[in-house]
Structure 1
């Protein structure tokens, strides 16, 4: 089978590999149809991922068709599926408490092990969700949107609350879309005028703010100087995360979707006087995947607008390096793997 291998930072190659072994009990083989290119994939290509061994087949935003099943698997061959790329142990404290998304020994496709930039993979059948009613292209976008949906669910949203999403790359846009679906009044903050214009003109978010010297004052004026009941950070920037604390309303919540290597500090008196809730949000669960798929089927997500770029498995070795640096107009690039 064909696969795209990142041999080392800055070097991709289309290679021939043996097909994976036949699925064992509880497993299914999936013929990959589409792969969304994630920020993680760009970081792996650029050598910026701290916990990765090369060479690596990247790719964890995946859709496909069931090709074979092992013993005890109820999925029919030919079933179109969304792939949950977070393989959990099933027995640690997080898994026992229904939080496999933060399993103590989680294995994420394309990061801890080889991923889906290949023609076939074998997965635990429990990580495959039937994608009936969705195109396979759209099914490949469920995972990144589920991360935003999970963050919104973690915030325990109440309709009518003011929410701010800081950083509107694909993950931030996912959080904004599902915050709006939850009934929140959503404002967006970013450094990119282009992305803000896309969010306003294409996705319909009218309260957009570009980061500048007076951004905090403009945002506070937007909330009648009360702040936001929920602030979501999706910047991946430590200074931006620290600045976000001042935008949370008294009694509000701050949800950190981003992961940074730096230590984050904040003024404890400000934190306590607001009785602020600080929430980490990692990955997503089946509940979030199902919520995203239902929302897509109901026409609440503009999938066609989000899928801005397309390529093939053969051409990704040229396209991904270019898109890592030339991001004009880029929201989500999708790799077409098979018919």
Structure 2
């Protein structure tokens, strides 16, 4: 089969690999759509823990074409999306239902071969039925599942006013999910006008190209109930407390560099009764993400700016984060 491979840090190749065979409890998926995530960029450059060589791709969907021992053969022919996380199931984190914090966590596209290939083997427990959802939509279930996990941690208060820095794919998924969960208003800040236009089309109430003027858009108390970062830019993250109301919540959702540091006044957090929440990956949230997609509550088609063939991967991973790109997907059928 054809596959993209990261042989080592900083290397990308198109390779021919033997067709994988599903083991016990696994299914073989013919990949139909796979999205590039900024995490794939981090893995390529060695800024995210991975195991090389690896076939990247943790956002993918396709059709089951073979079943391993112990799997009902009726799964063959079913259309599925994949939860990439493979926790150990036995550690304290797993027993507390916090599988995303498993110290032995494996993941398709990170430590196990993933979706940027014609075929991929996955555990049956990681395959979720998608019904008649288009594959390109179903492949967005994984990033949306990360958003759902963040919302579960937030416990959003009704009629909250939310401020989101970053109107890339993750920021716009977060904005839509917040509105669906009951946020009264959502304001987006981003440097790129086109991204903000898409945000307005998807339900944002206000947009700004920088933080100037935020006081005018905030509720009467001058600050927001929730401020979230979806940029992963440390300088942006450092400024979040100035925009949140006393007693409000701050969500660290974007992925900052592992060695980044910011200045934070602990007295400010203490005196203002602030809640700072970190959200990593997904946690048993692919099924609710698929329900949001199926219901139309969250729209993802406007976020997919470019599709490409598998052998064009090396070009397109270099386009991640540019002003003219949003979600980039390989389409294999």
Q: TM-score, normalised by structure 2?
A: 0.91
Aligned to 1:17: 17
Q: TM-score, normalised by structure 1?
A: 0.90
Q: 1 CA distance for matches of 2:145 and 2:222?
A: 29
Q: 1 CA distance for matches of 2:30 and 2:68?
A: 15
How far does the alpha carbon of each residue in 1:55-102 deviate from its partner, in whole angstroms, 9 at most, with x for none?
332111010111222233346111111100111111112211112122
Aligned to 1:269: 267
Aligned to 2:289: 292
How far does the alpha carbon of each residue in 1:24-46 deviate from its partner, in whole angstroms, 9 at most, with x for none?
1x22221111101111223334x
2:238 to 238, 242, 254: 242
Aligned length: 329
Residue 53 (structure 1) shift: 4.8
Aligned to 1:319: 316
CA RMSD of aligned residues (A): 2.0
Aligned to 1:57: 55
Q: Does 1:335 align with 2:330?
A: yes
Q: 1 CA distance for matches of 2:280 and 2:48?
A: 17
How far does the alpha carbon of each residue in 1:268-287 deviate from its partner, in whole angstroms, 9 at most, with x for none?
2221122111111111123x
Residue 304 (structure 1) shift: 1.9
Q: Say whether the 8 Å CA contact 1:146–1:174 is kept in structure 2.
A: no
Could you say what secondary structure the match of 1:14 adopts?
strand
Q: Say whether the 8 Å CA contact 1:86–1:106 is kept in structure 2.
A: yes
How far does the alpha carbon of each residue in 1:313-339 deviate from its partner, in whole angstroms, 9 at most, with x for none?
122233333x247x23311111012x3
Q: 2 CA distance for matches of 1:226 and 1:319?
A: 41
Residue 211 (structure 1) shift: 1.7
Q: Say whether the 8 Å CA contact 1:233–1:258 is kept in structure 2.
A: yes
| Structure 1 unpaired stretches of 5+ | none
Aligned to 1:133: 132
Sort the Cα spacing of 1:163 and 1:324 in 2 relative to 1 into closer, same or farther, 3 A: closer
Residue 11 (structure 1) shift: 4.2
Residue 17 (structure 1) shift: 0.4
Residue 22 (structure 1) shift: 3.2
Q: Aligned runs of 1:166-181 on 2, under 5 Å?
A: 166-181=165-180
Aligned to 1:76: 75
Q: 2 CA distance for matches of 1:22 and 1:291?
A: 27
Q: Say whether the 8 Å CA contact 1:34–1:63 is kept in structure 2.
A: yes
Q: 1 CA distance for matches of 2:215 and 2:116?
A: 41
| Structure 2 unpaired stretches of 5+ | none
1:233 to 221, 229, 246: 229
Q: 1 CA distance for matches of 2:229 and 2:119?
A: 35
Q: Say whether the 8 Å CA contact 1:147–1:175 is kept in structure 2.
A: no
Residue 299 (structure 1) shift: 1.7
Q: Say whether the 8 Å CA contact 2:176–2:203 is kept in structure 1.
A: no
